[in-house]
Amino acid sequence: MSINDYRINRIIGKGSFATVFKAFSRKTQKPVAIKIFSKKMSKQEEELARKEVSISRTIDHPNIIHLYDEFRRNDTWYMVFEYCGKGDLDKLVGKKGMLKEEIVALLAVELVEAVFYLAEKNIAHRDIKPANILITD
103-122: average pLDDT: 96
- Whole-number average pLDDT of the chain: 92
Q: Based on the fold, state whether residues 95 and 77 are members of the same structural domain.
A: no
pLDDT of residue 31: 97
Provide the pLDDT for residue 49. 83
| 73 shares its domain with 11 | yes
Q: Is it the case that residue 81 has pLDDT exceeding 80?
A: yes
Judgement on whether residues 10 and 65 belong to the same structural domain of the protein: yes
**3 and 69 share a domain?**
yes
Per-residue pLDDT tens digits for 2-18? 999 999 999 999 887 88
**Residues 71 and 108 both lie in one domain:** no
Among this protein's residues, is 60 annotated catalytic?
no
Q: CATH number of the domain that 29 lies in?
A: 3.30.200.20
pTM of the model: 0.87
Q: What is the pLDDT of residue 4?
A: 92
Q: Do 43 and 63 fall into the same domain?
A: yes
pLDDT above 70 as % of the chain: 100
57 and 89 in a common domain: no
Condensed to tens digits (0 to 9), the pLDDT of residues 26-58 reads 999 999 999 998 777 888 888 888 888 899 999
Q: Do 88 and 63 fall within a single domain?
A: no
Structural domain count, the chain: 2
DSSP string for residues in 76-117: EEEEEEE--TT-BHHHHHHHH-SPPHHHHHHHHHHHHHHHHH
Instruction: Find the catalytic residue in 60, 75, 127, 137.
Output: 127
Strand order of the β-sheet with 18-25 is 2-3, 6-14, 18-25, 31-37, 76-82, 67-73
Residues 53 and 79 in one domain: yes
Domain that holds residue 137: 84-137
- Residue 8, Cα to own-chain centre: how many angstroms? 16
On whether both 19 and 64 belong to a single domain, the answer is: yes
Among the candidates 44, 65, 83, a domain finishes at: 83
